[in-house]
Structure formats: C-alpha cells, structure tokens
Amino acid sequence: MANRSLDYCGLKCPYPILRLSALYHQFKQGEIIEVIADCPTFEKDIKAWASKLNKTILSIENLGNKLKVTIRI
C-alpha cells in the first residue's frame, strides 16, 4: 500500500515529472509513492527519473488511458 498517491492526470510532458521532482524533498527514505498520469510519455519519463535517482519502481499498471506507477523512494 502506498504512503502517498499523486494524480497528475491532465498534465502533459514534462509536468508530471516536474511536479514529482518538486515534491521529492518531502519524501522519506523507503516511502512508497503511487503516481497516476495519462501523459503519453509518462512511462518512459518515470523510468528515467527513477533510474537517475536510483529509486525502485515496484509496479507499472495500465489503467486504460492512465498509468499507475508505484515507486519505493
């Protein structure tokens, strides 16, 4: 279960990742974050973001036109 859920539906690239990055300093080590977005490039962007920060993507779930990504910070 996620500690936080962030809904970035309706935001287009690069805003979902920019918003997530802006909140990053508020997250605690080990916290589970769930991010939902409908941007077409979100999966590629979130994978690059997690890799750059050495964070673990626990799951990627397709919800029709949305994507739910669960990350361990």
Please tell me the predicted confidence (pLDDT) of residue 30: 93
pLDDT of residue 48: 97
Between 15-23 and 42-53, two packed helices, what is the crossing angle to 10 degrees?
30
Give the DSSP letter of residue 28: P
pLDDT score, position 24: 93
Exposed / middle / buried, residue 72 (Cβ in 10 Å: 0-12, 13-18, 19+): middle
Regions of the chain where pLDDT drops below 70: none
The pLDDT score that the predictor gives to residue 2 is: 75
Residue 3 has what DSSP assignment? Answer: S
**Domains identified in the chain, total number:** 1
| pTM of the predicted model as reported, rounded to 2 decimal places | 0.91
Which tens digits make up the pLDDT trace of 46-58?
Answer: 999 999 999 999 9
Q: Which residues constitute the domain of residue 17? A: 4-72
- The CATH number that applies at residue 52 is 3.30.110.40
DSSP per position, 5-27: EEE-TTPPTTHHHHHHHHHGGGP
